[in-house]
Amino acid sequence: MTDFVISVVDDDEFGRKAICRLLVALGFHVESWATAEDYLKSHSMWRTSCLVLDVQLRGMSGLELQRQLLEKRHRIPIIFVSASEDRWMRKAALAAGAVDYLQKPVSEETLLKGIRSALNLSESEGPGS
């Protein structure tokens, strides 16, 4: 088992569970939440190695969660996922330091590539190798 903890925040239950199953199958420890508020209340940010974050959530948006984490000086590598193609949101997320901004549905290869980049792993290192 890996020491990397991947946190997934997505209000689409089906999509969230699919991403979690994939990441667990690849050997990652995964935690998930339906809202940004629940993620913040959990204090999991202290153990999160990479955050897979939906842009458009009920309540606090993914971009707002990113902003709050930056304000707390907690720099977690973030991979945004979005069902809608919005260039402004993509630009804003990447300008604020997101590792990647992926369009749903996300392929296994694309997600794994983003996570490896976020964790600074080569293709032969870590889970999913």
Position 3 in a domain: yes
Q: In this predicted model, what pLDDT tens digit does every residue of 33-80 receive, in sequence order? A: 999 999 999 989 899 999 999 999 999 999 999 999 999 998 999 999
Residue 36 and residue 59 in contact, taking contact as beta carbons nearer than 8 Å: yes
Q: What distance separates the 2 farthest-apart alpha carbons in the chain? A: 39
Position 42 in a domain: yes
Position 84 in a domain: no
Q: Which residue type occupies 43?
A: H
pLDDT at residue 1 greater than cutoff 50: no
Position 122 in a domain: no
Q: How many domains does the chain have?
A: 1
Mean pLDDT over residues 96-116, rounded?
94
Position 25 in a domain: yes
Position 52 in a domain: no
Residue 97 CB contacts under 8 Å (≥ 6 apart), including other chains: 66, 70, 75, 78
Position 20 in a domain: yes
The residue segments making up the domain with residue 25 are 1-46
Position 36 in a domain: yes
Q: How far is CA 6 from CA 87, 100, 104, in A?
A: 26, 15, 18
CA dihedral 36, 101, 95, 42 (to 10 degrees): 20
Q: How far is CA 50 from CA 5, 32, 88, in A?
A: 7, 12, 23
Q: Where in 19-104 does DSSP place strands (E)?
A: 29-33, 50-54, 78-82, 100-103
Lowest mean pLDDT among 1-15, 45-59, 63-77, 113-127: 113-127
